[in-house]
Structure 1
Amino acid sequence: MTVNKWTAAKVARKVIDQEELFILDVRNTDAFEDWKIEGQNFEYVNIPYFELLDGVDEVLTKIPADKEVLVVCAKEGSSIMVAEMLSEAGREVGYLEGGMRAWSSYLEPIKVADLKNGGELYQFVRLGKGCLSYMIISDGEAAIIDAVRFTDVFLDFAKEKGVDIKHVFDTHLHADHISGGRHIAAETGATYYLPPKDATEVVFPYTPLTERLNVKVGASQINVEALYSPGHTIGSTSFVIDNRFLLTGDILFMDSIGRPDLAGKAEDWVGDLRETLYKRYRELAEDLVVLPAHFMIIDELNEDGTVARRLGDLFKENHGLNIEDEAEFRRTVTDNLPPQPNAHEQIRQINMGKIAPDEDEQTEMEIGPNRCAVR
Structure 2
Amino acid sequence: MTTSAVQIMTAKEVTRIVLNQEELFILDVRNESDYNDWKIEGKSVDIINIPYFDLLDGIDPALEQIPVGKKVLVVCAKEGSSKFVAERIAEAGRSNVFYLEGGMKSWSEYLEPVKVADLSGGGELYQFVRIGKGCLSYMVLSDGEAAIVDSNRMIDPYEHFMKEHGVKLVHTIDTHLHADHISGGRALAQKFGATYHLPPKDAVEVTFEYEKLVEGEDIHVGKEKLVVQPIYSPGHTIGSTSFIVDHKYLLTGDILFLESIGRPDLAGLAEDWVSDLRETLYSRYKNLSEDLIVLPAHFGKVTELGEGGLVSGRLGKLYQENPGLNIRDEGEFRKTVTENLPPQPNAYKEIRQTNMGKKTPNEEEQREMEIGPNRCAVHDK
- Fold match (TM-score > 0.5): yes
Task: Confirm or deny: 8 A CA contact 1:238 1:248 kept in the other structure.
Answer: yes
Q: Which residue of 2 aligns with 1:77?
A: 80
1:68 aligns with 2:71: yes
Alpha-carbon offset, residue 124 of structure 1? 0.3
| In structure 1, C-alpha distance between the alignment counterparts of 2:104 and 2:188, rounded to whole Å | 25
Partner residue of 2:339 out of 305, 327, 335: 335
Task: Confirm or deny: 8 A CA contact 2:9 2:101 kept in the other structure.
Answer: yes
1:175 aligns with 2:179: yes
1:367 aligns with 2:371: yes
Secondary structure in 1 aligned to 2:267?
coil
| In structure 1, C-alpha distance between the alignment counterparts of 2:81 and 2:110, rounded to whole Å | 20
| In structure 2, C-alpha distance between the alignment counterparts of 1:349 and 1:107, rounded to whole Å | 24
Aligned length: 374
Task: Confirm or deny: 8 A CA contact 1:213 1:226 kept in the other structure.
Answer: no
| In structure 1, C-alpha distance between the alignment counterparts of 2:188 and 2:134, rounded to whole Å | 21
Instruction: Tell me the TM-score normalized by structure 2.
Output: 0.97
| In structure 1, C-alpha distance between the alignment counterparts of 2:121 and 2:160, rounded to whole Å | 24
Partner residue of 1:161 out of 146, 159, 165: 165
Task: Confirm or deny: 8 A CA contact 1:246 1:288 kept in the other structure.
Answer: yes
Partner residue of 1:275 out of 275, 279, 284: 279
| Aligned-residue identity in percent | 66
Secondary structure in 2 aligned to 1:277?
helix
Secondary structure in 1 aligned to 2:309?
coil
Q: Which residue of 1 aligns with 2:249?
A: 245
Secondary structure in 1 aligned to 2:251?
strand
Task: Confirm or deny: 8 A CA contact 1:168 1:182 kept in the other structure.
Answer: yes
Consecutive aligned runs of 4 or more in structure 1 exceeding 6 Å deviation: none
Alpha-carbon offset, residue 234 of structure 1? 0.1
Secondary structure in 1 aligned to 2:182?
coil
Partner residue of 2:120 out of 104, 116, 122: 116
Q: Which residue of 1 aligns with 2:141?
A: 137
Secondary structure in 2 aligned to 1:374?
coil
Task: Confirm or deny: 8 A CA contact 2:6 2:99 kept in the other structure.
Answer: yes
Task: Confirm or deny: 8 A CA contact 1:116 1:222 kept in the other structure.
Answer: no
Alpha-carbon offset, residue 116 of structure 1? 1.5
Please provide the CA RMSD for this pair. 0.9
Structure 1 residues 264, 223: closer, same or farther in 2, change over 3 A?
closer
Q: Which residue of 2 aligns with 1:46?
A: 49
**Equivalent runs, 1:1-375 vs 2, <5 Å:** 2-92=5-95, 93-218=97-222, 220-227=223-230, 228-375=232-379
Instruction: Tell me the TM-score normalized by structure 1.
Output: 0.98
Secondary structure in 1 aligned to 2:140?
strand
Task: Confirm or deny: 8 A CA contact 1:22 1:67 kept in the other structure.
Answer: yes
